[in-house]
């Protein structure tokens, strides 16, 4: 079984985010990047499936800032190959561009299953697995966990989460693309010493991205920071006093229905 995991660098939301002068995006010079946490979950699940069924784990990503470090870390964790897709990519690359660049590479690698992070915090689209599957012509299931493979029957079984905590059991033929929400285990840690060793020994593969037309992605005209419209009122006193204050506030705003 050949498993492929797309990896993407995303802005670290711990840092203060500022808009660029045009107001159309984030100020890239003020950003620091880290691996998308859902991609890390997908990588961990791929490594667990490799341990169960054998095969190889390939990580792939677009040539964006610091992606090499992520590749070396993935290999230190247990990935077998790392493929960097070269080209002129925006650090905040959108899912349409990523899928268009990645699909031909995935198709050339004889992959049985793609495990992609279900979404990324820089756009929250959750569309990379969907768009990638569409370009490959493969079946797709997203927001999944609990993945089980039947290599002989070439079937993947997984759980898909719905609102309200409802879980559905899904089954799909391989090859397929799965949007991973959570791995069966917490993503493993790679020691710095192991990463440094990999940096000396491992070789990153490079594949040039094929030219692709605009896939119809949405255009951002303007972004605005949230503006404060009011303030919170803290209820003081004991529980009885707080209840009385709350009931009074609800009544003042016409939000309290009184039954006679």
The yes-or-no verdict on residue 132 having pLDDT over 70 is yes
pLDDT one-digit tens code per residue, 51-64: 999 999 999 999 98
What integer pLDDT is reported at residue 126 of this predicted model?
84
What number of residues does the chain have?
A: 260
For the domain spanning 2-208, the CATH number is: 3.40.50.620
SS (H, E, C) the chain: CEEEEECCEEECCCCCCCECCCCCCECHHHCCEEECHHHHHHHHHHHHHHHHHCCEEEEEEECCCCHHHHHHHHHHHCCCEEEEEECCCCCCCCHHHHHHHHHHHHHHCCCCEEEEECCCCCCCCCCHHHHHHHHHCCCEEEEEEEEEEECCCCEEEEEEECHHHCEEEEEEECCEEEEECCCCCCCCCCCHHHHHHHHHHCCCEEEECCCCCCCCCCCCCCCCCCCCCCCCCCCCCCHHHHHHHHHHHHHHCCCCCCCC
Question: β-strands 56-62, 81-86: how paired?
Answer: parallel
Sorted by sequence, the CB contacts under 8 Å of residue 199 that are 6+ apart come out as 72
Map out the domains of the chain as residue ranges.
2-208, 232-260
| pTM summary value | 0.82
Q: Where residue 214 falls among pLDDT bands split at 50, 70, 90?
A: low
Which residue did the predictor score with more confidence, 46 or 120?
46
What integer pLDDT is reported at residue 258 of this predicted model?
62
pLDDT one-digit tens code per residue, 145-195: 999 999 999 999 999 988 888 899 999 999 999 999 999 999 999 999 999
């Amino acid at each position: 079984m050949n498993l492929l995991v797309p990896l993407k660098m995303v802005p670290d939301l711990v840092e203060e985010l500022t808009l660029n002068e045009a107001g159309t995006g984030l100020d890239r010079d003020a950003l620091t990047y880290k691996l998308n946490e859902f991609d890390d979950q997908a990588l961990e699940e791929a490594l667990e499936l490799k341990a169960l069924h054998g095969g190889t784990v390939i990580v792939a990503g677009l040539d964006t800032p610091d992606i090499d470090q992520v590749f070396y870390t993935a290999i230190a964790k247990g990935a077998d190959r790392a493929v960097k897709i070269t080209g002129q990519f925006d650090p905040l690359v959108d899912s349409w561009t990523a899928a268009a660049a990645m699909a031909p590479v995935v198709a050339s690698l004889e992959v049985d299953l793609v495990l992609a992070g279900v979404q990324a915090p820089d756009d929250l689209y959750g569309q990379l697995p969907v768009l990638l599957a569409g370009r490959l012509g493969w079946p797709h299931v997203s927001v999944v966990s609990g993945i089980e493979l039947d290599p002989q029957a070439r079937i993947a079984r997984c759980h898909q989460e719905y609102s309200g905590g409802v879980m559905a059991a899904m089954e799909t033929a391989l090859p397929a693309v799965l949007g991973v929400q959570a791995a069966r285990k917490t993503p493993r840690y790679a020691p710095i010493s192991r990463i440094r060793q990999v940096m000396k020994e491992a070789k990153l593969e490079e594949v040039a991205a094929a030219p692709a037309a605009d896939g119809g992605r949405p255009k951002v005209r303007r972004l605005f920071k949230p503006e404060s419209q009011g303030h919170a009122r803290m209820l003081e006193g004991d529980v009885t006093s707080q209840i009385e204050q709350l009931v009074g506030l609800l009544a003042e705003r016409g939000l309290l229905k009184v039954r006679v």
